[in-house]
């Protein structure tokens, strides 16, 4: 796996230790030297798209906003935008040529809404809470909390919001947590929140009769269901495979139902994930029992 691919799966930004753990020290240093990734001022690495967003906004005298702004603030995102997000005043005329290469948003930003050509942390979160992809909104909200943004301020921003998308904004803010490890896990938790009867929490320590079993990605205590967001990069080696197999076996031996999801399924096939989770809940709540048919 290349450094760029790892950085994409980590949400577009990452600390050096996190990126080295996913690849190698030599790969990270080479990617920096070759300009494949950038060193952010805040001590994190990002994809070159972060600088490209500033350049695109400057060309149309606009402001970097939405998901592109989240990356500027060092927050992990579900998916790095194909085109930079740029906000312009509602009355500003933009030629078709200038529209090319950007995702254009319209808003009359105040002076407090903009910091050095980028929407402020508060304005960025308010915009991202309303994203059409709720999982993407959840990933950014969770990342902001991990970065130290106040959970109370986040909830207050959503509560004071008005207009389209306000109900989603309040739901995402209420569900946000700094315990989510990454956008992959945030997106999986968001999908799970739509499954009736399933109530998962992140990073819950699980104990057996007299031993610590582990701290899974997501846990439903009542149904004893464990959800794991599995990336091959972190589980692909032989030693890692043995470690994880033993870990999952411990859960199963103590009555837990363990289900593992690949990054591609969570990010690009939410219906499959949702249907699988619904089937698991049905099986647990209906006490489905299987028996072998006589030959």
Task: DSSP for 44-109, please give it.
Answer: -EE-THHHHHHHHHHHTT-EE-HHHHHHHTT---SS--SS-EEEE-TT----HHHHTTSEEEE---
Residue 85 pairs with which residues in a beta bridge? Answer: 103
Say if residue 152 is exposed, middle or buried (CB neighbours under 10 Å; 0-12, 13-18, 19+): exposed
Tell me, what's the pLDDT at 99? 83
Which of 237, 185, 240 is CA-nearest to residue 10?
A: 185
Can you give the residue ranges of every domain in the chain? 1-46, 48-178, 185-286
**Within a 10 A sphere around the Cβ of 18, how many other Cβ atoms?**
18
Confidence of residue 288 (pLDDT cuts 50, 70, 90): low
- Do 40 and 74 form a contact (C-beta atoms < 8 A)? yes
Query: How many whole angstroms separate alpha carbon 50 and alpha carbon 287?
Result: 50
Tell me, what's the pLDDT at 185? 96
**Highest mean pLDDT: which of 58-67, 89-98, 283-292?**
58-67
Q: Is the pLDDT of residue 281 over 90?
A: yes
User: What are 22-29's contacts with CB under 8 Å, separation 24+?
Assistant: 22/233, 22/234, 23/233, 27/2, 27/3, 28/3
pLDDT, tens digit, for every residue of 92-134? 888 888 788 899 999 999 999 999 999 999 999 999 999 999 9
Which of 273, 266, 261 is CA-nearest to residue 195?
A: 273
Q: Rounded to 5 degrees, what are φ and ψ at 196?
A: -60, 135
Q: H or E element: which one contains 9?
A: helix 3-9
pLDDT, tens digit, for every residue of 143-175? 999 999 999 999 999 999 999 999 999 999 999
Does CATH number 3.40.50.720 belong to domain 185-286? no
Query: How many whole angstroms separate alpha carbon 150 and alpha carbon 232?
Result: 33
pLDDT, tens digit, for every residue of 175-210? 999 999 999 999 999 999 999 999 999 999 999 887
Residues 6+ apart with CB under 8 A from 294: none
Query: How many whole angstroms separate alpha carbon 184 and alpha carbon 22?
Result: 14
**Within a 10 A sphere around the Cβ of 176, how many other Cβ atoms?**
27
Q: Is the pTM of this model over 0.75?
A: yes
**Within a 10 A sphere around the Cβ of 58, how many other Cβ atoms?**
13
Helices (H) and strands (E) in the chain, counts: 15, 14
Tokens standing for 234? Answer: 């972190």
pLDDT, tens digit, for every residue of 69-94? 999 999 999 999 999 999 999 998 88
pLDDT, tens digit, for every residue of 217-255? 999 999 999 999 976 555 556 677 677 788 888 889 899
């Amino acid at each position: 796996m290349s450094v760029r691919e790892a950085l994409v799966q980590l949400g577009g930004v990452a600390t050096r230790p996190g990126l080295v753990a996913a690849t190698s020290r030599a790969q990270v240093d080479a990617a920096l030297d070759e300009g494949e990734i950038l060193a952010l001022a805040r001590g994190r690495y990002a994809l070159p798209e972060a600088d490209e967003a500033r350049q695109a906004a400057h060309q149309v005298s606009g402001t970097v906003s939405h998901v592109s702004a989240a990356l500027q603030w060092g927050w992990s995102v579900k998916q790095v935008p194909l085109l930079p997000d740029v906000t312009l005043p509602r009355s500003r005329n933009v030629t078709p040529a200038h529209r090319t290469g950007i995702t254009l948003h319209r808003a009359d930003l105040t002076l407090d809404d903009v910091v050095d050509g980028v929407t402020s942390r508060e304005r960025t979160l308010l915009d991202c809470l309303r994203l059409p992809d709720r999982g993407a909104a959840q990933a950014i909200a969770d990342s902001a909390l991990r970065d130290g943004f106040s959970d109370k301020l986040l909830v207050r921003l959503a509560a004071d919001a008005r207009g389209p998308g306000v109900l989603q904004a309040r739901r995402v803010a209420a569900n946000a947590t700094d315990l989510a490890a990454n956008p992959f896990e945030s997106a999986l938790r968001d999908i799970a929140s739509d499954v009736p009867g399933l109530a998962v929490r992140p990073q819950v320590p699980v104990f057996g009769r007299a031993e610590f079993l582990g701290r899974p990605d997501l846990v439903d205590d009542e149904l004893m269901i464990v959800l794991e967001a599995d990336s091959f990069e972190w589980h692909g080696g032989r030693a890692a495979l043995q470690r994880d197999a033993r870990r999952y076996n411990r859960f199963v031996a103590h009555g837990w139902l363990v289900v593992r999801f690949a990054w591609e399924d969570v990010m690009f096939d939410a219906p499959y994930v949702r249907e699988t989770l619904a089937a698991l809940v049905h099986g647990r709540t209906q006490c489905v029992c299987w028996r072998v048919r006589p030959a």
